[in-house]
Structure 1
Amino acid sequence: MNAHDDTRAGLENALARAAEAETLLVALDFDGTLAPFTDDPADSRALPEARSALEELLELDRTYVAVISGRPMRFLRSVVDPAGRMLLSGSHGAELLLDALGDPDADTGLQLTPAQQELLARATALVEAQVARYPGAKLELKPTGAAFHTRTMADQSLCARAEQEMIEQFERLEELKITPGQHVVESSVHSATKGEGITAFMQATGADVTLFAGDDVTDENAMRELGPADLGIKVGTGESVAAHRVASPEELAAALAGLARLRRGAVR
């Protein structure tokens, strides 16, 4: 058995153990995890196999599904979960929606102070100027920050330089949170993290076992909140504290489908 087979077998065993949990929380990042990256972030959609697996899990007793993303809540509600059956955390933990638990009073909206609004405007202006310097680069404006995307740049050999310049420009703004990622440099005027989002969901559901999968640097904050009985899955390359790894969203979708089958048998 080669190293890849060892890794696959280890993940399959971990999924089987998770499926037997009394209460299971399946929490997932969106971009690069449930959905492949797209040139236009607005076009991103979960893979059909992943979507089907989540819908099957949502039908099962004592089983919760959550999406924890840097996307704004409006995108998560309209595109990711229009039926309102999932727990949602948007804007890197700054927005929480727990309606699926029947407790709307626990939801947290997003309100920026005047100082944060001014900081966001300054960060946005910096990204706009950087986009003008690098053809094909894009600005993504979020409720708490501005992101500089390089995946669509005309000259991909300049991506690293453009991203480093963006980091240096963001660093001039005090109180701005800066998070480099894969072909993106994100900024935020809010200090929340995905770790806060997953912690809120673990506490709200009383989960005995939590599975979390993510692909980027920001997801590591959530990975670090997992306990010994929980299951972390890194999607793609890069360093991670997760004990398990899959190569792509397609591989994760297959793993989720397997988990759904196992879980269906366990909760009967």
Structure 2
Amino acid sequence: MSTDTTGPTDAIRPAIAGVVASDRLLIALDFDGTLAPLEDEPMDARMLPAAREAVDAAVAAPNTLVALVSGRSLSDLRVIAEHLDDSPLLLAGSHGAEFWIPGEGVVTHDDDPGDAALRDELRAHAEQATADLDGVWIEPKRFGFGVHTRKSTAADAAEANLRVDALVEAEAPHWRRRTGHNIVEYAFRHEGKDSAVAELRARTEASAVLFAGDDVTDEDALKSLGENDLGVHVGSGPTAATLTVADIPAMAELLAVLAAERSAVREEKPSGERPAARQ
């Protein structure tokens, strides 16, 4: 059961006490809907100022590493997160199929050239199949594509998803299907945010993880967390998270309190140098 911490700061502190006290904390955050409002034009998304400030504070906290974990392709995630080459943020794009590691750069796993060829063919077929539906947009992704319906009517959205579901089932039944806010994604890679968090945990050698997200695809990561970890759901609806906050500003407040608490704990108990991502 998720505990609602939408109240004042004093209500947040006991909920985050476990991860505050952890030796080495990885904070892994979904982007859209968790740090940045959802936009009709996906590439217009940017962190709210309060969220950016809170992320920066978390990065500066002792023995704390911060990662963005998104279904966006890594290249698009870097744009919307305004992520530069010298950024201390770790990134997991495409649901954990590609990473950016500070000091190392892009890390990805090998692909079969045949997968890319099928991706391009299916993407073209999806564009043709939905061309007559107003407000439907096919987003190219490195490992597949997404069907966006935020700007379409409910009837056209349902029709678009029906048509593309049938197309993928006929031509690539082994692909993974994911749903989100007004989007259905199809991919030839089967990584999820659970595997993304696991790889980031291993790379950073974190003793605890805080993962926060707002969407269906974030539930994979939330369900994978251990007893020393903390899952946070942003918004309403059923979730595997142990905590729920109302919205992005509330999530930013939680991060800011967490960063301040970890800094205060570390000042009382010095504990060595700040960790870096394992190369």
1:96 aligned onto 2:99? yes
Partners of 1:238 and 1:219 lie apart in 2 by: 13
Partners of 1:33 and 1:136 lie apart in 2 by: 24
Question: CA 1:160–1:11 in structure 2 vs 1: closer, same or farther (change >3 Å)?
Answer: farther
Question: CA 1:204–1:135 in structure 2 vs 1: closer, same or farther (change >3 Å)?
Answer: same
Question: CA 1:163–1:253 in structure 2 vs 1: closer, same or farther (change >3 Å)?
Answer: farther
Aligned to 2:220: 221
- TM-score w.r.t. length of structure 1: 0.88
Deviation at 1:204, TM superposition (A): 1.8
Contact 2:138 2:146 in 1 (8 A): yes
Deviations 1:64-99 (A, max 9, x none): 000111111122334422242111111111102222
* Greater relative CO, 1 or 2 (CA 8 Å, sep 6+): 2
1:28 aligned onto 2:29? yes
Deviation at 1:195, TM superposition (A): 1.3
Question: CA 1:131–1:265 in structure 2 vs 1: closer, same or farther (change >3 Å)?
Answer: farther
Q: Partner amino acid for 1:15?
A: I
5+ residue gaps, structure 2: 268-279
Deviations 1:131-163 (A, max 9, x none): 41310111111111110001111x245433433
Contact 2:5 2:243 in 1 (8 A): no
Partners of 1:259 and 1:40 lie apart in 2 by: 32
Runs of 4+ displaced beyond 6 Å: 5-10
Contact 2:62 2:266 in 1 (8 A): yes
Partners of 1:220 and 1:164 lie apart in 2 by: 24
Q: Partner amino acid for 2:195?
A: E
Superposition pairs of residues 1-268 of structure 1, within 5 angstroms:
11-80=12-81, 81-82=83-84, 83-99=86-102, 102=103, 104=104, 108-109=107-108, 111-153=110-152, 155-172=153-170, 173-268=172-267
Contact 1:25 1:205 in 2 (8 A): yes
Deviates more, 1:209-218 or 1:75-84: 75-84
Contact 1:166 1:185 in 2 (8 A): no
Deviation at 1:210, TM superposition (A): 0.7
Partners of 1:143 and 1:244 lie apart in 2 by: 33
Partners of 1:11 and 1:170 lie apart in 2 by: 44
Contact 1:11 1:244 in 2 (8 A): no
Q: Partner amino acid for 1:150?
A: T
Question: CA 1:188–1:56 in structure 2 vs 1: closer, same or farther (change >3 Å)?
Answer: same
Partners of 1:254 and 1:37 lie apart in 2 by: 19
Deviation at 1:123, TM superposition (A): 2.4
Question: CA 1:160–1:256 in structure 2 vs 1: closer, same or farther (change >3 Å)?
Answer: farther
Question: CA 1:6–1:35 in structure 2 vs 1: closer, same or farther (change >3 Å)?
Answer: closer
Q: Secondary structure at the match of 1:84?
A: coil
Deviations 1:217-250 (A, max 9, x none): 2212211221011100112233321111123223
5+ residue gaps, structure 1: none
Question: CA 1:121–1:251 in structure 2 vs 1: closer, same or farther (change >3 Å)?
Answer: same
Partners of 2:167 and 2:130 lie apart in 1 by: 13
- TM-score w.r.t. length of structure 2: 0.85
Deviation at 1:175, TM superposition (A): 2.2
Partners of 2:219 and 2:255 lie apart in 1 by: 20
Contact 1:32 1:215 in 2 (8 A): yes
Q: Partner amino acid for 2:243?
A: H
Contact 1:167 1:185 in 2 (8 A): no
Q: Partner amino acid for 2:68?
A: V
